Structure formats: C-alpha cells, structure tokens
Structure 1
Amino acid sequence: MTNGFDEMILNMTDTTPEPEDYTGEDGLLYCGKCHKPKEGYFPKETAAWLGRDRHPAECDCQRAEREEREAAEKQRSHLETVERLKRRGFTDPAMQGWTFENDNGKCPQMEHAHFYVENWETMKERNIGYLLWGGVGTGKSYFAGCIANALMEREIPVCMTNFALILGDLAASFEGRNEYISRLCSFPLLILDDFGMERGTEYGLEQVYNVIDSRYRSGRPLIVTTNLTLEDLQHPEDTAHARIYDRLIEMCSPVRFTGSNFRKATAQEKMGQLKKLMNRKESRL
C-alpha cells in the first residue's frame, strides 16, 4: 500500500487522453492535433519506485493553452495593481486621464516628460526631479500627470497631490504628522501640484518646509508644478520662503512652460461650438 505522498505522485502521473489522441510507436500517448507526446518515460530507478514507467508531458497545444492562461492572469494582476496605485496615488480621479496617449501634442515641453519616464531608473538613482514653472494653463499639471500615469503603468508607486490637501490632512491629524510625512516620502516619486497657491501662514510655511526637507533627506526625486516664476524662486521675499525655495532648486531641474493658456483656448473652442449649435437650431426654425 502506498502512503499519502506516493499516492499524490501517482495521481500526478495520470494523463487523460482526448478522443483524437493516439499511441505512438514508442508506446507513449500523442496529441492528435500537434502530434507531440503527452507522456514521457521515467528513469528506470524512478519507475521501479513508483510502479509505473511514464509521466505526463506538455504537448505544444497544452503549452500554448497554459501560456495563454498565464498571460491572461498576469495581465489581470497587472491591471488590478495599476488601478490600485492610481486610486492611491491621485487625489483627483480626473488625473487618471492625463496620459501620453491623450496628449493633444500642443505642449512643446512634453518631450521632457517622455525623457523622464524613459530614464526613470537614472532619475531615481540620482534623485533628479523637475521644477515645472510658467503661466496658468500652460500644461504643467498635465505634463506631471503623464509622468505619474506612465510610471504607475509600470507598477511604480507615485503620489500626485498638492499642499492645500497636505496642510488640511496635517491639521486634521496632528498626532500622526510624522507618520503622514513619512508616508509621502516613501513613494518613489512625489509630485506636488500648484505649489505656491497655499496660504502663506507661519504654520503653513513650516509644514511646507517639513515636507520638502523630509523629501530631500529621503533621497527620492520630487516634481513640482508652480505658477511662480524662476525669479520668484531665486529671490524669495523672506527667510521662511528662502529655505523652501533653496531646497526645491537644489532637488529639481527647472523646465519653463510658455505659450497660450490651454484652458482659456479650450473654453473659447467650446463657446464656438455652442454658437454653431445655436445657429443651426435657429436656422431650422
């Protein structure tokens, strides 16, 4: 009588034939579709121990089916991971649509975003970030969102948030402030959107400095978008701002955004479409 282990091994050696399968000249079962063996012979010592001489083998059909199942499972797992990263990493669900695929091609700086993603390992290793500065509506946030989405598609965690939300969270959980800042700094990439729009209170500036300084000491890259000019950052109004801006300039390579206000252009385009629709309706009356 075999023990439980031997019985398990024997069950593993069973091969279930399909109606089209056949036995070859070597005595093994062959697939009736790809004509490759579905069995193989054990070495003599193993055959003597198990009491049978053959074991299952993958034919080409079975291998293709297995690889297809594994690929589907891998893709399902990947999509679940990316969805989880985006839910966790974006403060606004709309940011999930800020991708290279959806880019309208009107932002001349977008090549820098592609470069950053393509060279992510170097950027991470050397702690290189971007300081995206320029006028309102010139595509800075979308640019940063493209980087975030592309990296998360590669299953790299990214957090894209802003100081208005950060300061609100810190005020709501004062006792857990250090843990909150540590969590922000744990992301391989942190993106701070609309920097400089938060209220410049003494408490607020202190927390802004704490977050940026903690990120600096973490040795991980930071991307910042701001409507401030590079001159504003290089010539701060006081010491409190100076120590914040110094950290940013040291960590982030400046990328200037110029050109027309995309949001204003989009609003004008929608207004034009509305006028056309109204004119068509009036002409039918």
Structure 2
Amino acid sequence: MNNAFDDMILNVTDTTTEPEDYAGKDGLLYCGKCHKPKEAYFPEGKTLFGRDRHPAECECQRASREEREKAIRHREHLQTVDRLKEKGFTDRSMRAWTFENDNGRTPQMKYARHYVEHWEEMKADNTGYLLWGGVGTGKSYFAGCIANALMEKEISVCMTNFSAILNDLKSGFDDKNAYIGQLCRYPLLIIDDFGMERDTSYGLEQLYNVIDSRYRSRKPLIVTTNLTLQELQNPEDTAHSRIYDRVLEMCVPVHFSGESYRKEQAQARIEKFRERLQ
C-alpha cells in the first residue's frame, strides 16, 4: 500500500480535536462543549491500521453539519425556483404577483389559496379556473399568485398569453406539435387574456389545438378573460364554440367584479399630481 493511501486512511480515522476537548473515563475523546464523545470503539475489539476507534459526531458537530446541509438545500431550492420562474413567466414583473404582496381587496383570493393548498387534488381531478370579469379587477394577479406559490413548491408552471404562443408558433418553432406538446408537459398551464387573440382562422385553429391538447393531456388549465360567462356559453360560431366548450368543461368559473384597480391607480396619480400643483 502506498504512502498516499495510508495517509488518506489515517486522515479518515483521525479525530479532530479542540483545546477544550478531554479524555473520558472510557478512554474516548469527548467534546468540551456538549460533553458527548467524538470517538467510538470498533465493535468486538476490531482495529483498523492499528487503531481501535473511529471518529464519531458529537452534538456540536451534528448541529453544525445539519446547519450546513440546510443552507445547501435552501440555496439549491432558491436556484430551482429561480429557474422555474425564469422559464415559466413571460414577464419578470409577474414574480411580484404573490399572496404576500396582495392588498387584500380581492375577496376571490381565498379560491387561489385553496387551489394551492389542494393542488394534488386539483391536479388529479384535472380542475382549473376560468377567471372572468372586467378589465383591471385582479384576475391576472390572482393567477400569478397561484403560479408563484406552486413554483415556490418547485412545481413547474407556465403563465403566458395566446399572443406569445402564436408568435412562438409563427417564428421559432418549425414543429408546432412539439411546441404544443411542450406546453402540455407543464403540470399547470395559465393562459392570460384569453379571448383577446386575433380572430383569424389560423389563430383560432392554433388556439383550439393548444386547448384541446391540454384537455387530452388531462392536466389542469387556468384562463383569465374579459369575456362574460354568457359570451362564453353562447359563442358566435362553431370555431369559437369548440374552444369555449373545452374551457368550460375543464375550468370552474370564478367571477371578478368591482371597479378597475388600474383606473383607481390612475385616478390616484392624477389627484396626487393636482395636490403637488396646489
């Protein structure tokens, strides 16, 4: 056996000592802080390279190791969440759409929390939400809270809109089926501003392909829309009917009513500006 290997074995079987450590009545080295042994005898009088003992973790060493491992796990978790959000959001501002940042003015938010808390059931039942109501009533923020909360649990989510999907299909992806299949691999797909896409035959066909593929994959879908439930239930033609029917079958409607937050914020900025002038 060469000297390098001998040294490695000796280092493995050697115990790290501190000035306050002491020898116990059993001949083992004890930690001077927690007073637990830092060594243990080999069983049945066995030895290794002439040594009858091997290093053991005292309470201090165990606590220090667990703290290091916890820090490593936390760092890896943050890196995973960051990758999920980088990939899953089309806009970085969506990262701020969280339960923690909620202003408490949306009574429907309880349904978002319920969805996250019961995610496994929602996923198993292929249950999504149809968030419908006027502009600026908090639908997109509601969906973003669900997306962020699930990503924090290291669950992959894609939150996008059909304009972005259509641009991808037209520009960067030759294999449209592969791209749609990629969307269907996400455990949760969120389509924001549903119904705002251009009513071209190509656009409607691609929208149907995405919705139908998601339906067939048996994975939940959340959509936000400014359309009314009546408009969705009474489409103007067959092309829209087959799309809306799929959405209504997959998603539980949640109505958002009230004044537009955006209008309120705009009015508040105007009032603040007037106060400065005065």
- 2-side partners of 1:146 and 1:251: how far apart? 20
- 2-side partners of 1:144 and 1:218: how far apart? 21
Q: Does structure 1 conserve the Cα–Cα contact (< 8 Å) formed by 2:128 and 2:220?
A: yes
Q: Partner amino acid for 2:134?
A: G
Pairwise CA distance, 1:93? 0.4
Report the counterpart of residue 99 of structure 1 in structure 2: 98
Pairwise CA distance, 1:5? 7.2
Q: Does structure 1 conserve the Cα–Cα contact (< 8 Å) formed by 2:45 and 2:52?
A: no
Pairwise CA distance, 1:20? 1.1
**Partner of 1:103: helix, strand, or coil?**
coil
- 2-side partners of 1:44 and 1:274: how far apart? 85
**Partner of 2:175: helix, strand, or coil?**
helix
- 2-side partners of 1:60 and 1:113: how far apart? 43
- 1-side partners of 2:17 and 2:4: how far apart? 25
Pairwise CA distance, 1:227? 0.3
Report the counterpart of residue 42 of structure 1 in structure 2: 42
Q: Partner amino acid for 1:35?
A: H
- 2-side partners of 1:12 and 1:63: how far apart? 17
Report the counterpart of residue 77 of structure 1 in structure 2: 76
Does 1:32 find its partner at 2:44?
no
Pairwise CA distance, 1:275? 2.1
**Partner of 1:237: helix, strand, or coil?**
coil
- 1-side partners of 2:21 and 2:105: how far apart? 60
Q: Partner amino acid for 1:78?
A: H
Q: Partner amino acid for 1:168?
A: N
Report the counterpart of residue 156 of structure 1 in structure 2: 155
Pairwise CA distance, 1:25? 0.9
Pairwise CA distance, 1:144? 0.1
Pairwise CA distance, 1:13? 1.2
Deviations along 1:58-87, one digit per CA (max 9) or x if unpaired, are: 111111111111111111111111111101
TM-score by length of 1: 0.94
- 1-side partners of 2:70 and 2:155: how far apart? 20
Deviations along 1:224-264, one digit per CA (max 9) or x if unpaired, are: 00000111111100000000000000000000111111110
- 1-side partners of 2:5 and 2:206: how far apart? 62
Q: Partner amino acid for 1:82?
A: V
Pairwise CA distance, 1:7? 6.1
Gaps of 5+ in 2: none
Report the counterpart of residue 118 of structure 1 in structure 2: 117
Q: Does structure 1 conserve the Cα–Cα contact (< 8 Å) formed by 2:173 and 2:179?
A: no
Q: Partner amino acid for 1:97?
A: A
Matches for 1:183-194 after TM superposition, within 5 Å: 183-194=182-193
Q: Does structure 2 conserve the Cα–Cα contact (< 8 Å) formed by 1:132 and 1:254?
A: yes
- 2-side partners of 1:194 and 1:150: how far apart? 21
Greater displacement, 59-68 / 268-277: 268-277
Q: Tell me the matched-pair count.
A: 278
**Aligned-residue RMSD, C-alpha:** 1.5
TM-score by length of 2: 0.96
Q: Does structure 1 conserve the Cα–Cα contact (< 8 Å) formed by 2:129 and 2:221?
A: yes
Q: Does structure 2 conserve the Cα–Cα contact (< 8 Å) formed by 1:44 and 1:53?
A: no
Q: Does structure 2 conserve the Cα–Cα contact (< 8 Å) formed by 1:99 and 1:150?
A: yes
Pairwise CA distance, 1:50? 4.0
Pairwise CA distance, 1:4? 8.0
- 2-side partners of 1:87 and 1:240: how far apart? 34
Greater displacement, 152-161 / 36-45: 36-45
**Partner of 2:80: helix, strand, or coil?**
helix
**Partner of 2:180: helix, strand, or coil?**
helix
Pairwise CA distance, 1:160? 0.2
Q: Does structure 1 conserve the Cα–Cα contact (< 8 Å) formed by 2:139 and 2:224?
A: yes
Matched residues, percent identical?
69
**Partner of 1:40: helix, strand, or coil?**
strand
Report the counterpart of residue 89 of structure 1 in structure 2: 88
- 2-side partners of 1:29 and 1:268: how far apart? 73
Report the counterpart of residue 199 of structure 1 in structure 2: 198
